[in-house]
Structures are given as C-alpha cells and as structure tokens.
Amino acid sequence: MQLPFSAFIGAEKAKKAIILNLINPRIGGVLLRGETGTGKTTLLRGLQVGTVCPNQIGYENLVGSADFAATIKGDGLRHKGALLETVDGGAIILDQLHLFNTGVLSTIINAQQVGYFSVERSGFSKSVTSHFAILAALNPSESTLSNSVIDDFGIIVDLPVIADMHKRRAIINLALKSDQQLADYKEQDKDLRRTIEQAKLRLKTVVLPFPLQLEMVKILDNYQFSGNHLDIKLLETTLALAAYYGRSQVEASDLIEASELVLYARRQQTTAPESTEQPQQEDDNQEQQQDNSPEQQDDQPEQQDEPNSDSDETEQQQLPDFDTQNNVQSSDQITTEKIGSGIDFKIGTENARIKDQIIGTGKREKRIGKDRHGHTVFYRSTDKYDDIDIFGTIMKAAPHQIVRQQQANTNSAQANRPRLIIKKRDLQRKVREHRIGNTLIFLLDASGSLRANKRMEALKGTIFNILSEAYVKRDKVALIAFRDGDVDLALPVTSSVDLAHKRLKELPSGGNSPIAEALSYAKRYINSNQIKSRESKYVLIFLSDGRANASSFSDMPVDDAKKAARTLATTNIKKVFIDYESGRIKLGLMKQLAELADAEFIYVDGVSEEMLTETVQAIK
C-alpha cells in the first residue's frame, strides 16, 4: 500500500524540497539520500505525482523510438514512447539513482535544465520540449555516483537512519489506525497538491527585491563550494518558497530557508558522498565534527524546521551571516578537508552489521539479464532470432517491398492490403556499445612504518600512469587507503585524471593496520560497483605487509583479517596481493591471506612506481 505523503512523520526538509521542486522545477531536482528504510520511496511516491522511471531504462524508451505498429500498417515512421515526453508538466521519479546509466542520467538532467531533449535515433530526428521536475533518491552506502552528478541536483536532503525500526513502524501504525485517518491523510495530500498548483501560478509573479538579491550573493560569496550553478538553484528555491507561502515578494526568511536547503546539505556532499553511512554518530575527530555538524543537526527531524533554534556554535557559524565574512576559510583548508574528512568509513559502533558482511550474507543481488546491456548504437545482419533490431530489419526490408508485394499479390488472395513483408534474410541484430575495461581497485595499507609515505607516492604515480592511458584502455581506478582504525575511499572509481589529481593531493598515513575492516570494505565497495556497471572486470590489488594489528571485530586482528580474506575467495573478482614485508623476521602473513582469499601472490622487495606500474600492466 502506498502511504500518503502527509502520513509520513518527520523528514520535513525532504517534504519541503519535494513540494518546492513541484512548484518550481527550475530548482533542478531533489535528491534524497538515505539507507534502506528511511522512507525514500514513500516520500517520492506519496503525493502520487510523477512517473517512475525504471533504472534500467535505455535511450529507446527514454527519448522514444519508432512506432513499428504504425510503420508496418503503412502509416510511415511515427515517434512513440518517450518517457521524457510523457513527464512534461509533471515529475520524473528516479529511485535508486545510482543504478542509472551515466549517459541516461545526463540526458535526463540536461533535458530538465534546458526544457527540451533531442532524439537522433533509428530514423528519428526530433527536438521535443518537456518541462518536468526530478524527484530522486539513492542509498549512499550502495552509491558509486560521481560528485558532479549529485551536485547537479538543486536540493540534496539526507534522511536520518531511524535507529529503531520499531519506532518507525509504530509511528506509521499510529498514523494509520483507522480508515478514517487514512482518508484524512489522503485529503491532506489533495489539499497539498492544490496548494502546489496555486503556488505554481503565483511563482511567475514573485519579485525578489534588490536588497535581498545582494544578500543572496553575499551568502553565495561566503559559501566555499559554490559555483554559478548554485546561484541559480538558490535563486529558484527562494522564489518557490515565497510562492509556497502565498506571497508575491521574497522575504529574508525565504532566503535563509532556501540557503539551508540548497547550500548546507551540500557541504557534506561536496567533500564526500560516501560518508553518510552513519551520519548521526559521534565522531572523535574534532575537525570532522566541525565539518559535519550542520548535517548532523539537520538529520534530527525535531530540529528541522527551526533553523534559529540551534545552540551549537559551529552551526551558528555556518548560518547565513549577512554582515561578517568570518566563516570564509582559505582555499588550502578546503583541499585538506576534501581529502582528510568525511570519506572515512565509520566503523566504531557498527560492528554487528559489518560482522554480518564479513560472514557474507550477500545482500542485494539485483542483477538484470547479463546479455543485453549497453546502448544500441546500430544494427548488423543476423540469422538468429535474438536481440533483433526492428528498425534495422525494416530498413533492410524496405527497398524490397514493391517486388514482394507484387509476388504476394499473385500468390495470395489477400491482395492489396498495405503491409510490410519481412523475410529472414532481412533480420538485423542490435549492435550494442560496451565499455569493457578493467576496474582496478587498489587497497593500500597506509599504516605504520616509515616507508608508508613513499609507498603512497609510488601508488599515486602508478594511478596517474594508468589513468593517463585510461581513455585508450577503458581502465578505471579506485583507491581505498586504510590506517589507524579508518578505511578511506580516497578515490572513488574513476577514469578521470583530473579527479585523481584533485582527490589524491594529500593522503594521511601512519598508525595501526585494520586489515579485516579494509578487506571487507573493499569487498562491499566492489560489489556495489558491480551492480551498476556489469561490463567491467574488477581487479582488487591489495598492498600490505599483512601485519594486521587492529580490528574492531574482536581483539584478534590477525584472525579477523584471515576471516575477511576467506570471504573474498568465493567472489568473482580477480585478486592480487602484493607483499612488501621487510626486516629480518618475516611473518609471511600476506601469503597466508592470499591463499585464503584465493589471490595471486607477489612478493616485492620495496615498492616503487616503476615496479607497481609494471606489475599492474602484467596483471591486466
């Protein structure tokens, strides 16, 4: 049963963001981020506006294709079935955003921004106007989406993990005790839809007075991560808020509320999209706490609608401050933040869950038929009735129609009926574009020894070497580094040299070595990537001396590491363990781990860029 929007208790910010985007799609979409059970789907679909877009959608259904029924009947080529056209005037719902193909997502987002889309497919050349809102959601622990895609969204809202599922259910049950109450909520939804319609009409008349324009630019100027795309998102959100409150002039309160919605949830995102595993948990790192605090505040539903009630000092500092510029930080600090914070894999109190995964409960195996992925780019002759390209087949058959019709007419009583005669030799199969390449996941032990820094540099060099050839070889790279109780996704899967340079500028090293956590993190990370891009071959390259000396699972770090290694044995990932253990006494732990994980084992006497690059080339 679909829970009414109004029956959903809490998540006021998410609700507001959805309403505002429906009022003013130019805000550029709303993205809800939250773990399973945080109510993403209910929120997206609750109002019953919008069309759900399947995440495996291809271009044919997104921008439309030929209406072959019409073609065969003899009506000529007609365009049909463009999802982007049917959502005109409404909303498109993108649940599990991370499962969408990059090109498809980019097509949807661009169409939304410019108000039209172009089709150049299978006989069609067309430009179609369509104005719609985007309502999207993703689960951050499964997501491998790039920052730039996430950053395209007008408003990003993080949904709190309801620690106690019973509490959530109780709320819902309470809310829906009787049919009468359900009907009440549905009535409220109806009112809300009416309010949205009225606000839509008012939106065109909303005026932004000059002093507030100035304030808006000051806010943007104070905000570190802002580009001009945020100017527009903030502007449109502010206008929508005024319209929502029934005014035709923007007030200062609208501006404050809009910056809360547009800017402050983004701060966290810009630094690290993968960090939201447990956003509400206490963090023992002071710097990080400061960085995370606005988000943590926002995650408490009770406080959401009262931006001025916060007592936290850091929060105060980040509220729009019209007169001072104290909160502007130097760009150096930004860089350090980007690398050092946020991306951390908070493992502290999450042991139970991680343990499950070490044992390997094999969560979420949503694979769709393996054969036919990739976009159709063209068609070729075939004699098998498999993955047939109808357009290509008709194309092939077209020139023969007159002759075939004549033959058919002499042989058959069914003369003169307009139809298309297709023979087996006309058959064309789809030719799909695959981007097969290697995805190399480096797992680097950045702990302890004096040489950690040197190894880090060698690996960075290797990564740049690989990426500078990436567009030829279609390789992608990710780097997971672990040290001192932390596992960092230092570089998410990418083929961009640019991004690698930005993200790897500075990486910390030193401390102890939590190998068990690192291996299980790597396994999960690869799994979630495999769901999205099935074409790629994954290779895990693990660099360590094998000397596990920290674990949050038990006080037996080496045993835990072995357990974690064993779970890798059953995966279909290629694994290479590179051991650089040095010193007079060698424990040979890395070799044991490699055997348990069914990995290729390489021992090296010192790590260098040349050696690593060579090794990696050989692996591929």
With tokens 């590491």, the residue in question is 561
Give the DSSP H or E segment for 489.
strand 486-494
Candidates 70, 128, 175, 604; binder of another protein (CB under 8 A) is 128
435 binds another protein (CB under 8 A): yes
For residues 477 and 463, give the distance between their C-alpha atoms in angstroms, rounded to a whole number. 7
378 binds another protein (CB under 8 A): yes
148-177 residues in contact with another protein (CB under 8 A) are 148-149, 151-152
115 binds another protein (CB under 8 A): yes
Q: Which residue, 18 or 216, is less far from another protein as judged by CB? A: 216
Binding flags for another protein, 25-44, as an x/- string (CB under 8 A): -x------------------
409 binds another protein (CB under 8 A): no
The angle at the Cα of 176, spanning 172 to 177, to the nearest 5 degrees, equals 115
Smallest distance, another protein to C-beta of residue 80, A: 13
Candidates 1, 2, 127, 410; binder of another protein (CB under 8 A) is 127
For residues 474 and 101, give the distance between their C-alpha atoms in angstroms, rounded to a whole number. 16
Residues 6+ apart with CB under 8 A from 555: none
226 binds another protein (CB under 8 A): yes
Could you give the C-alpha distances from 14 to 34, 83, 192, in angstroms and in order?
11, 25, 15
614 binds another protein (CB under 8 A): no
Residue 75: exposure state from Cβ atoms within 10 A (0-12, 13-18, ≥19):
exposed
**What is the token pair recorded at 594?**
């490699």
Smallest distance, another protein to C-beta of residue 376, A: 7
Contact yes or no for 199/237 (Cβ under 8 A): no
Give the CA count within 13 Å in the CB-facing half-sphere of 531: 21
Q: Which residue, 145 or 558, is less far from another protein as judged by CB? A: 145
Max CA-CA distance within the chain? Answer: 94
578 binds another protein (CB under 8 A): no
489-508 residues in contact with another protein (CB under 8 A) are 494-499, 501
For residues 327 and 309, give the distance between their C-alpha atoms in angstroms, rounded to a whole number. 19
610 binds another protein (CB under 8 A): no
Q: Which residue, 149 or 539, is less far from another protein as judged by CB? A: 149
185-214 residues in contact with another protein (CB under 8 A) are 204, 208, 213-214
Candidates 36, 48, 129, 329; binder of another protein (CB under 8 A) is 129
Smallest distance, another protein to C-beta of residue 458, A: 11
| Segment lying near another protein (by CB under 8 A), choices 274-282, 393-401, 540-548, 564-572 | 393-401
Q: Which residue, 121 or 483, is less far from another protein as judged by CB? A: 121
Candidates 230, 441, 519, 576; binder of another protein (CB under 8 A) is 230
What letter does residue 249 receive in the DSSP assignment? B
Could you give the C-alpha distances from 477 to 23, 101, 398, 525, in angstroms and in order?
41, 18, 46, 13
Candidates 170, 398, 415, 569; binder of another protein (CB under 8 A) is 398
Measured over the CA atoms of residue 576, residue 577, residue 580 and residue 583, the dihedral's sign is negative
Could you give the C-alpha distances from 48 to 43, 45, 278, 318, in angstroms and in order?
10, 5, 30, 35
437-456 residues in contact with another protein (CB under 8 A) are none
Candidates 76, 211, 369, 583; binder of another protein (CB under 8 A) is 76
Smallest distance, another protein to C-beta of residue 609, A: 9
Candidates 70, 77, 172, 175; binder of another protein (CB under 8 A) is 77
Q: Which amino acid is at 310?
A: D
What letter does residue 608 receive in the DSSP assignment? -
Count of CB atoms situated within 10 Å of the CB of 479: 27
Candidates 177, 178, 384, 399; binder of another protein (CB under 8 A) is 399
**What is the token pair recorded at 380?**
């070729």
Q: Which residue, 317 or 405, is less far from another protein as judged by CB? A: 405
**What is the token pair recorded at 77?**
């080529």
Q: Which residue, 113 or 314, is less far from another protein as judged by CB? A: 113
401 binds another protein (CB under 8 A): yes
| Segment lying near another protein (by CB under 8 A), choices 5-13, 136-144, 226-234, 361-369 | 226-234
Smallest distance, another protein to C-beta of residue 327, A: 16
* DSSP-derived 3-state class of residue 573: coil
**What is the token pair recorded at 64?**
């439309």
Q: Which residue, 153 or 542, is less far from another protein as judged by CB? A: 153
Candidates 471, 510, 582, 620; binder of another protein (CB under 8 A) is 471
Binding flags for another protein, 281-320, as an x/- string (CB under 8 A): ----------------------------------------
Q: What is the DSSP string of 383-397?
A: SSSSSB-HHHHHHHH
Which of these, 145, 104, 126, lies nearest to 376 by C-alpha position?
104
510-569 residues in contact with another protein (CB under 8 A) are none
